[in-house]
Amino acid sequence: MTSTVQTRNVRIEAQDGGTFDAYLAVPASGSGPGLVLCQEIFGVNDFMRRTAQLLAEEGYVVLVPDLFWRQQPGIQLTDGPSDMPKAFALYQGFDENLGVADIGATVAKLRTLPECEGGVGALGYCLGGKLAYLAACRTDVDVAVGYYGVGIENSLDEIQNLRGSLVLHIAEQDDFCPPPARAQILEALSGRKGVELYVYPDVDHAFARTGGDHYDKPSALMAHQRSIAALKRAIGPHYDFSYLWDKHCEYEFGTRDVAATMATMVAEPYVNHIPTMTGGVGHKELSRFYQHHFVNNNPPDTRLIPLSRTVGATQIVDEMLFCFTHTTEIDWMLPGVAPTGKAVEVPLIAIVKFRGDKLYHEHIYWDQASVLVQIGLLDPEGLPVAGVETARKLLDETLPSNTLMARWQDSARHG
């Protein structure tokens, strides 16, 4: 976890008297839109604190209230079998209405903090998923996101009071939200302005809890992207991803400065060149990779020719031509292959994920068969592969299509 995220405890006055603690995480910039993070039935435990810190890296000032304070302040449980009975007992004894009031008090407190600039949202899991839904209906949050909320079907009439926008992530195999309950939610909320509903096939409750028995990474990643997109639309923050990515590439291929390259990334980034599985995970390994196998490893005439760019809420997708003469051994693309002196032009796709204003990871794709054909290591005769033609046709769509299909001429007879 990056040390640039600052954390501390904040004391909040409850609307009905008394005070309770909340865990605060502030982004490296020192300010940002506010986000109330609503706990599961396990209290403000390690998962909630780590989630708060990750959301702070995204640019949010995150406040996590201790919603079980009336029963037992400072409770921190796990989802292990020894803690589950106590967690369910706390859940059964929890006063939902007072909990929503505490969230309202947390929202009000967050708006007074000097670090909080702009709007405020709410995001929650499990118990917190329903509380985020109710916060959207009862408080002045600008946006709310609920993960596998329990019992939302019992409060669907409250949607009439929705003030901002709402996103709900629903697990298809969630026993706490069985098919009849899910059907009620979808029927009541689908098509409403400002409401987004997502059902994740074949996953169970708590699919986004890292380390949990039901954690499902693909669904968790998709849900997170949708959540951040909704938050950014409503309250920001907004970053110039194009500028950030261009500077990163300038340091990689222009000035070839490893330290400057790493400074554009989060504390623990990763890079994966998919065809060759080269790159690195974490600052130490990726720095080593950049220093010895990438930044100073590319041929002198390496060129990136941009063709298109799609900028999303959390990532950039770049389409380009990667061009070079194979005059040096290129560890990351052609590991172990001695220089051939051959010219190469290959289409390349970069999917670049950001966390806040830093690069989090890169997934880089290209057609390795086309590269091998162009340097003479793969004979394309009789194989469904092409060489430089793939790059040429990308620039000139009028060049012949289907040249690798032996049956293409046969279909001409059928019109």
Sign of CA dihedral 80, 85, 89, 91: positive
DSSP 76: B
Q: What is the DSSP string of 58-100?
A: TT-EEEEE-TTTTTSTT-B--SSTTTHHHHHHHHHT--HHHHH
Copy the structure tokens of residue 174.
């969630």
* Residue 155 near residue 133, CB atoms below 8 Å: yes
Other CB atoms within 10 Å distance of the CB of residue 357: 20
Other CB atoms within 10 Å distance of the CB of residue 14: 17
* Enzyme catalytic residues: 174, 205
- Residues of the chain by 3-state class (helix, strand, coil), percent to 5: 35, 25, 40
58 Cβ neighbours under 8 A, 6+ residues apart: 27, 228, 355, 356
